[in-house]
Amino acid sequence: MNSAQAEAEWRYYLNNPPQKASSYYNQSFVDRINAAQNNLNNLVAEKDKAYSTQQQAYNDYDTFTGNMRSYNEYYQEAENQFGVTQAKDDYESTQKALAMTESMLEALPSSISARSGRRLTQEQRNLQYNRQADVINATQGELSRAANTYEQAWKTARENQAAKATAGMVAQQTEQQDLASKWTTQLQEYYNKLNSYNKSQYELAAERAAYSQWQLQQRLQASAIWEQQLQAAGERYRQILATEQAQRQANAQLERQKREYEAEQARLKAKDRLAQSLVNLHWAQQGGVRAW
């Protein structure tokens, strides 16, 4: 590998750092998140339906409670049904009639005296008194029996009136309690759905957090490997540059030594040629005869 290749490798790592954490994909996490999201979506519908149901149950209870009748209303309604007023009027009428006969009986002696003056003897007055008193007493007896009958009828009517009013109140309270119980049941069902919804939200958030943690871990691991690779590529690049620089320096040194050697050889050859020229000149001057 030369320095150009080493540089290309180093720049490749330098320009290609690990992708961001969100780019790492894991199908298992995606499946769990989708399942949790679907469950949450279903629980949203169930929660909303449960809320609507409990709200309707509350409205039924609240409307019924707002329209509840008082005991007096039931009592007044039952008064006409059982003829309480008529029974009372009949009883009071007989009482008035009895009081009137009592007054007539008390006023009978004076009435007899006023009508007869002195024409009647005492015996005749007594006889007339007894006859009229018997009639009044008989009337009193009938009125007294009628009063007892009317009094009993009035009492019975009042008892029936009270019983009917009480029964109406009991039935009303029972229905109110039933509506309250239905609302309480629906409200508890809504709270159960709400708890399940909140739990599902937590589970979805936990799955997403776990996925993000896994992605971050992948990013950290990839970054650690990338840093090692980048550092190793950079070190290789520096070493190859240093080696090539040393080689160039060595080559330059060898080239200088070669040139120096060649120059020395050329100088020596030139010296030899000069020496030979001098020898040749000498022998030429000596008649051209050499000793060898």
pLDDT tens digits, one per residue of 215-257: 999 999 999 999 999 999 889 989 988 988 888 888 888 888 8
What is the dihedral angle through the alpha carbons of 42, 43, 46, 47, rounded to the nearest 10 degrees? Answer: -150
Pick the more confident residue, 143 or 5: 5
Contact predicate 78/161, CB 8 Å:
yes
What amino acid occupies position 19?
A: Q
What amino acid occupies position 184?
A: T
Q: Record the pTM.
A: 0.57
Q: Evaluate if residue 113 carries a pLDDT over 80.
A: no
Residue 69 phi/psi, 5-degree rounding, is -90, 150
Distance in angstroms (rounded) separating the CA atoms of residues 286 and 289:
7
Q: Evaluate if residue 187 carries a pLDDT over 80.
A: yes
Which 3 state secondary structure label does DSSP give 248? helix
The DSSP symbol for 78 reads H
| 22-39 average pLDDT score | 93
Q: Pick the closest to residue 216 from 59, 36, 23, 63 (CA basis).
A: 23
For residue 104, what are its two tokens? 């007539």
What is the dihedral angle through the alpha carbons of 257, 261, 264, 269, rounded to the nearest 10 degrees? Answer: -160
